[in-house]
Chain A
Amino acid sequence: MKLEENLKNLGEKFKRVDLSDVIIEKISAGERLAKSNENKEGFIKAGEKFSVFLFFVLIVYGTMKFVESGTFNSIVTFVENLDLFDFRIAIGLLSEVILYYFFYILISTIPLFSFLVFKHESRQ
């Protein structure tokens, strides 16, 4: 019993601390940081949606322009006259289509790609 009493008394002699200000300040700083990260994440999410949207708009616009272009008409004519199939014409048309789309996809991906780089950098 004496040992237990002595232990209780020893416990009373431990250093008294008051870290309440430090703890509250730390929590408050943590909350501020969490809020700022939340805002940043919101911005990133919105930017992500917008750049994907832009990518599809550019692709659709590119397709519309392609349909209006001479190359498209040439393809239609070529398909309509398949019995007069010419390998050189086919290759020429195909390369025009590839070039056109390669160029357009390249342009369309620029905003998406730039955004992905920004997202990566901002999360570092």
Chain B
Amino acid sequence: MNSFEEEKELIYLLKSKDLDGFRKIVEVYQEKLLKFILSRISNFSEAEDLLQESFFKIWKNADFFDEKKSTLKTWVYSITKNTITDFLRKRKLNILSFGNLLKLQGKGKIDGSVFENEESLVKEERDLFEALKRLKGDEREIIHLRYFSELSIKEISEVLKMNENTVKTKIKRALEKMKVILEDEA
């Protein structure tokens, strides 16, 4: 089955509002979406919660999906992006309302590794991940979308609502920044 046929099937499953069918959508997108969420949320268990929330929203809004306006893939990513934004906004409000910055800073740290087997990572990969963490949030987000979730430039531009040239420029700049960080580390 090619990707076009797979997308058609997934849309059909989404529209049929059947939970067994929806499971297939979850299985197809869960890992990629989790990688995307991890670009902004470094706490793994919080990222898992956001993934669940995103799928819940996808299910709830299934009737509003319009295949003429976007592909299922970009729609799913857009919902996840909104979920992340809401979460970050609430967290920011928490900081402002309680002034509990130190506590929340601790919460933002990595809770468990994001890797399957962290010991198996070679030094080069560790350095790469460290360099990635030093990028700004929006740069990290775009790198995650491009290389971890493997979205095309066009798809990224739809998800982030930017034009394709801006996406290309942002990727190029983020990669250059990473190169500089890696060279400095070396």
Contact residues in B for A16 (Cβ distance below 8 Å): 31, 116
Please classify how large the interface on chain A is, using the bins under 10, 10 to 19, 20 to 34, 35 or more: 20 to 34
Across the A-B interface, how many residue pairs have beta carbons closer than 8 Å?
Answer: 86
Q: Is B148 a contact of A11 with CB atoms below 8 Å?
A: yes
Interface of A is mostly: helix
CA distance A39 to B59 in the complex (A): 21
Q: Who on chain A is nearest to B117 by CB?
A: A13
A 1-31 contacts with B by CB, 8 A:
3-4, 6-11, 13-20, 22-24, 26-28, 30
B 15-57 contacts with A by CB, 8 A:
19, 22-23, 26-27, 30-31, 34-35, 38, 44, 48, 51-52, 55-56
Top 6 A-B residue pairs of the complex, sorted by shortest distance between their CB atoms: A11-B148, A7-B147, A20-B26, A23-B55, A15-B116, A27-B59
Interface of B is mostly: helix
Could you name 29 residue pairs across A and B whose Cβ atoms are closer than 8 Å? A3-B175, A3-B182, A6-B124, A6-B125, A6-B128, A8-B150, A11-B148, A11-B150, A13-B115, A13-B116, A13-B120, A13-B121, A13-B125, A14-B114, A14-B115, A14-B148, A15-B44, A15-B113, A15-B114, A15-B115, A18-B27, A18-B30, A20-B26, A22-B52, A23-B26, A23-B30, A23-B56, A27-B19, A30-B56
Q: Answer whether residue B156 sits at the interface, using C-beta atoms and an 8 A cutoff.
A: no
Q: Who on chain B is nearest to A16 by CB?
A: B116
Query: Which A residues form the contact surface with B (CB < 8 A)?
Result: 3-4, 6-11, 13-20, 22-24, 26-28, 30
